[in-house]
Structure formats: structure tokens, C-alpha cells
Chain A
Amino acid sequence: MGGGTAKKGNRIMNWSNISEFFSMGGYGLYVWGSYGVTLICVVGEILLIKNRHRTLEKQYGLTHDINKKETTHETTS
């Protein structure tokens, strides 16, 4: 992978317009296919943990009430 020769002209920012950026020199499918799936994997992972956390809290909500019933039961007996 040799060093890149920057193109001439004022394109210090590599891309002169947005559509050129998305076409990515004709490799848009491959580059954005890679970045898109990576984004989906990362966001998916974060959502999975949040979901796991929520089911836990629901579970605790249940055990929380059970604890309350148990404690009241003990005090009355």
C-alpha cells in the first residue's frame, strides 16, 4: 500500500462535493457496505445490553413485590 499522491487542484479535503463522497471513487458499495454493517453491529450490541438491562429490572420489579409480600407476611404472623 504505497503512499497516496494527493490530487492536484483545491481538493485539500479530498472530496469536492457530497455525491463524490458517497460514490467513493466508484467503490461506494464496498466502503459504505462495510461502514454501514459495522454501525449496525455496534448499535445492535448497545441495544442488546440495554434490553437485557430492562428485562432485569422487570424481573427485579417482580422480586421486589414478592419481597414486600413476604416481609408483610412475616410481620403479621
Chain B
Amino acid sequence: MAINWFKYSSPASFYSLAGKMIPFFTVIAIILLAAGLYVGFFIAPTDFQQGEAYRIIFIHVPAAWMSMFLYVVMAFWAGIGLAFNTRLSAMFASAIAPTGAMFTFVALWTGSLWGKPMWGTWWVWDARLTSELILLFLYIGFMSLQAAIDDPRRADKAGAIIALVGVVNIPIIYFSVQWWNTLHQGASVSVNQAPSMATTMLLGMLIMVFASWMYSIAIILKRIRVIILERESHTSWVAELQKKGTVS
């Protein structure tokens, strides 16, 4: 029985699928958030060097990882939308951008508040911090470019160009700590060698990473439903939704 996955590439059927998935991801996000914060604050011990300030790691690292990951996903959907002219893919890129920008801002903000006690400065033009700031500008550039163009389809194409060109910045951020000698520390957690972190600290951080994944999926699906309604308002299926008064 071959499942016709392409059925969900039509905004109408994806709209209802997304509606069914949102509560599922929201509940998991809340549970993981509670677990992550509990491990982070009540089980992970005091750090012998940084004392309690290191507990910012439980939102700084997930936010930073999400800011990079969401940009790659956004660029992927923007590329697909550009290549195959599929409306829903482009809508996905527009739905991801605000959440990615939010995580980038949170990564910069929490990093700066962590840097002040530990490095003695809110900001330094360090390779890692500067490339993350450029990432924030890329997100804002993507959103404002799309907002500046009236016709959604042309806005998608223009946005796709920025998204695809900006992808080069992601490896720069990731490897910046190795290519330049940065004030920002190197990767404590990487795929090719064991993490140099205490297990409970690592556990708290990883739970928060999954919590931010679940949150991102839920919030992006919620936003894409609104985008679908906005863009497909001329269609008959949206008109039916209105008549039934279930434009939820």
C-alpha cells in the first residue's frame, strides 16, 4: 500500500495534518522543558570554575544550535520552493524565519549575559559572536525582503535567494572556533569525540535541545497554518472553513 506522500504537499491537506500534529508537539515540548529545567537547576552540580553562572548553558546552547539548524531547514525549503515552484515549501521557509531569528537573538543575548561575568565583557568582535550576529541580520533581511514585496510568489523567490546565499554563514559559525583563535570556547560536544562535560550537565542541556526542537516544530506548524489561510483565502476550501466558522 504505497502512501501518496505528495498528498500533503497541497496546502489544503497539509493544513489539517498540521492542525492534528500541533497539540502532540506542544505537550512533548512542555514535558521536556520541565524535565530539562529540573535537571539543569536541581540535579546538575555547581561548576567548580564558573559557580552557578554556567546554568545559562541550558538555554544558550540549545538556542544557538536551533538558530543554525533552523536556518539550514529554511534554506532547504526555500531552495525546494524555488526549484519546484511549490507554494507550500516557500510557505514553510516564511514560517521558519521568525522562530530562527528569535533563537538567534536569544543565543546572542544569553551569550552576552554569560560573557559579562566570565569574560568581563558584554560583547567582543570575536569570530563566533560576529558570525552569529550576521546570522541574525540574514534572518531579518529574509523577513523584511519578503515583507517588502507584495506578490507572495515573487517574495518567495527573492527570499529564497537570500536564504540560499546565506547558508555559507552556517559552517563559518560552526567552525569559527577552530579556524580563528576565538575568545569563545571550542565545541565541548561534537560528533567525533566524547563530550567533555559532566554527565548531568550534558543531560540537562540535551533535554533542553530536544525541548526546543519540539517547541520549534509546534510553533512553526502553527505559523504555517496562518500563512496558508492568508495565502489561500481565495480558494474554495478556505471559503468552506469560513462558512463552517472553523477558521481555527
Chain A positions near chain B (C-beta within 8 angstroms)? 1-7, 13-15, 21, 24-27, 29-31, 33-35, 37-38, 41-42, 45-46, 48-49, 52-53, 56-57, 59-60, 63-64, 67
B177 on the interface (CB 8 Å rule)? no
B60 on the interface (CB 8 Å rule)? yes
Further pairs besides A2-B48, A14-B42, A49-B223: 16, Cβ < 8 Å: A1-B50, A1-B57, A1-B188, A1-B196, A5-B46, A6-B45, A13-B42, A21-B41, A24-B55, A30-B53, A31-B52, A34-B56, A41-B106, A46-B219, A48-B98, A56-B226
User: What is the number of residues of chain B that contact chain A, defined by CB distance less than 8 Å?
Assistant: 49
B21 on the interface (CB 8 Å rule)? no
Nearest 6 Cβ contacts at the A-B interface: A4-B45, A25-B52, A3-B198, A27-B53, A34-B110, A6-B45
Docked CA distance A47–B185 (Å): 35
Chain B positions near chain A (C-beta within 8 angstroms)? 41-57, 59-60, 63, 98-99, 102, 105-106, 109-110, 113-114, 116-117, 185, 188, 196-198, 201, 215, 219, 222-223, 226, 229-230, 233, 239, 242-243, 247
CB neighbours (8 Å) of B51 from chain A are 25-27
Report the minimum CB–CB distance from B174 to chain A (whole Å). 19
Docked CA distance A30–B243 (Å): 51
Q: B-side binding surface: helix, strand, loop or mixed?
A: helix
Are the CB atoms of A60 and B233 closer together than 8 Å? Answer: yes
Are the CB atoms of B226 and A5 closer together than 8 Å? Answer: no
Docked CA distance A46–B106 (Å): 15
Are the CB atoms of B242 and A64 closer together than 8 Å? Answer: yes
List 13 A-B pairs, Cβ < 8 Å. A1-B197, A2-B47, A3-B45, A3-B48, A14-B46, A15-B42, A27-B51, A27-B117, A38-B59, A38-B106, A49-B226, A56-B226, A64-B242
CB neighbours (8 Å) of A34 from chain B are 56, 59-60, 109-110, 113-114
Are the CB atoms of B226 and A35 closer together than 8 Å? Answer: no
